[in-house]
A and B are shown apart, each in its own frame.
Chain A
Amino acid sequence: GDSVTQMEGPVTLSEEAFLTINCTYTATGYPSLFWYVQYPGEGLQLLLKATKADDKGSNKGFEATYRKETTSFHLEKGSVQVSDSAVYFCALSKTQGGSEKLVFGKGTKLTVNP
């Protein structure tokens, strides 16, 4: 079945460091891909998305490119801030029973130290 695999955390970086969180997927067809972020004590927020191959999603300095040939959607940011500390979830959407359902990776916890 469809699945998402994320790099295991936790990831700890210093402020202004470069961030990469790897995400690969297995799916039939052409799913849309998402990154969600969960700040401590809060629900998930959509960070960015891409709906077709070679699309690049971007938001708040984060970027991810939909790579069909490597079935990947790695999240990157050039210079992280303390406020980026959160859990990041990669997800794909699939249509099942007439509804779009999300399949999530296990999440990667990021801690950014000053």
Chain B
Amino acid sequence: GAVVSQHPSRVICKSGTSVKIECRSLDFQATTMFWYRQFPKQSLMLMATSNEGSKATYEQGVEKDKFLINHASLTLSTLTVTSAHPEDSSFYICSASSLHRQDQETQYFGPGTRLLVL
């Protein structure tokens, strides 16, 4: 299998606070992890790509100081939304792929984290 988990599944926070979301690959080593944002009734927007042990690569228009990504190990990546505001409310989804797997180009997705900023 290729299972990816996210924690928390749902979080509500006050405006101005920071929120950390964890993404874990449970049964494989993820050489690359991706973070997406999904707006209601819209597609997934890639925010950033991270390889284990190196800095994340952000997509154009995504503020790297706002969305801090850390990929410290082959099974864990974190996304921290700093000084969150209501416009940051969204569904955040991570995915993982592995160069060690035969299907190395396939991304396996976590169940997502619903963030609501009040």
Contacts and interface: CB of A to CB of B under 8 A. Distances in A.
Interface of A: 32, 34, 36, 42-46, 49, 51, 89, 93, 97, 99-102, 104-107, 109
Contacts of A43: 4, 6, 93, 109-112
Contact of B109 (A32, A44, A105, A106): A44
Which applies to chain A's interface (DSSP): helix, strand, loop or mixed? strand
A104 B57 contact: no
Q: Is the interface of B mostly helix, strand, loop or mixed?
A: strand
B105 A106 contact: no
B106 A97 contact: no
Interface residues of B, number: 24
Nearest to A32: B105
A36 B109 contact: yes
A81 to B, nearest CB: 22
Nearest to B103: A49
A60 B84 CA distance: 40
Contacts of A36: 109
A38 B19 CA distance: 25
Given A100-B97, A104-B44, A46 B49 contact: no
Contacts of A46: 106-109
Interface string B27-65: 000001010000001111010010100000100000000
A106 B42 contact: yes
B110 A106 contact: no
Contact of A100 (B4, B43, B93, B105): B105
Contacts of A45: 109
A47 B8 CA distance: 25
Contacts of B42: 106-107
B43 A104 contact: yes
A15 B91 CA distance: 30
